[in-house]
Amino acid sequence: MNNIFDNAPSPFIPNKLPIDISTIIDIDIIDLLSQASMEMGTYSGLLKNTINPMLLISPLLIQETISSSALEGTHATIEDFYNYEAGNKVDIEKDEMTEIGNYRKALYYAIDSISTVNDTSSNGKLPLTSRIIKEMHKILLSNVRGKNKSPGEFKKEQNYIGSKDTISFTPLPPELTDEYMYNLENYIHQDDKKILIQIAFIHAQFEMIHPFKDGNGRIGRLLIPLFLYYKEYLPYPTFYMSKYFEADRALYLQKLSNISKNNEWKEWIKYFLEGIISQSKINTKKAQYLIYLYNTFKEKVLKNINSKYSVQVLDFIFEQPIFKAKQLKNKLGIGTNTTIYNLLNNFMKLGILKKTNDERNATYICVEILENLD
């Protein structure tokens, strides 16, 4: 039987960035770019005018971790992940759940670590560089099945993309990885007015370089919100596209593949901009509802619950809409169980929470948050 590597395509060596877009941009792309910019402007405005948007949008971040991980073959749902964190049994391998949690940790690490392009304060934060990307990768592969695949280090051996029977694409050779990642990093810092086209190039180029032995797809998708935040196009890195890619995974991979096969940048950019338009509308709608829900709940809570902890409990519910009383107690640092259970009972009376029938170790659920994420 032939070794599948015998018939593997030669490594693809893409053009370095920037790409000359004079032959790529047409009236359709200009129209899509205009629509995408308008929709992103609406979403950005919503974030700018919201108090603590990272808290309120945190359920969307979990949805992104689930969708991005699903593109790599995981099967967990949002409810699975929240139940797992609550200590409930789920029919998903522990490795999968840890991978999803690592994705979230990697994004939070980047949020805490990177500055923005015009930030001149000496706050110890860094620009979006390979150093940040490598550390995110290290976090992503921590204590999971990819932990032996050089976490946080660029590849030293050739990697391949395909199935167990066929190799469909051979990325950049390892000896060129540092050179091409340096070029990508320079392009990230390049001043370009067409930010949304720039990130389309960045995402595709990263996937063609495939700089790591494993985890490239997830890191490449994380770069989208982080780049938009770094360039100050968005006030927070809370714009996610994995749901769009996941909706038709075959089309996503086909559009990427056509760049290497046929230099089809034009169709990739159109596809990417269509995704931005679609996800901007969806993200705006979901964010508006989560903000409305939070404000509605907060009004009820302040009117009906006389406790200094009431708003902190509400904030926790948006971070963790499926949880156990012990998690809440540990988060808030409340000493007595009586205080915790009184608060939870009051939240149930207001219709904000429901709980399972297991009285000894009940799970509390905010159904309305979860329904918004479907």
pTM to 2 decimal places: 0.93
- For residue 374, pLDDT over 80 is answered with no
Pairing of strands 322-324, 354-355: unpaired
232: left (phi over 0), alpha (psi -120 to 50) or beta: left
In tens, the pLDDT along 188-244 reads 999 999 999 999 999 999 999 999 999 999 999 999 999 999 999 999 998 999 999
Cα 280 from chain centre:
14
- For residue 8, pLDDT over 70 is answered with yes
Of 163 and 84, the structure prediction assigns the larger pLDDT to 84
Strands (E), 193-319: none
Strands (E), the chain: 161-162, 167-169, 322-324, 354-355, 363-365
- For residue 2, pLDDT over 60 is answered with no
Q: What value, to the nearest 5°, has the Cα angle with vertex 216 and ends 5 and 236?
A: 170
Q: What value, to the nearest 5°, has the Cα angle with vertex 134 and ends 129 and 138?
A: 150
- For residue 306, pLDDT over 80 is answered with yes
- For residue 324, pLDDT over 90 is answered with yes
Of 350 and 2, the structure prediction assigns the larger pLDDT to 350
Lowest mean pLDDT among 55-64, 206-215, 249-258: 55-64
Q: How far is CA 77 from CA 124, 215, 348, 354, in A?
A: 37, 20, 25, 20
- b or e along 154-169 (b: 16 or more beta carbons within 10 Å of the residue's beta carbon)? bbeebbbbeeeeebeb
Mean pLDDT over the full length of the chain: 93
- Tell me, what's the pLDDT at 1? 38
Domains, the chain, with CATH or none: 4-282 (1.10.3290.10), 305-372 (1.10.10.10)
Share of the chain above pLDDT 90, in %: 79
**Count H helices, E strands: the chain?**
16, 5
Q: What mean pLDDT do residues 326-338 have?
A: 90
In tens, the pLDDT along 143-191 reads 887 778 899 999 999 999 988 888 989 999 999 999 999 999 999 999 9
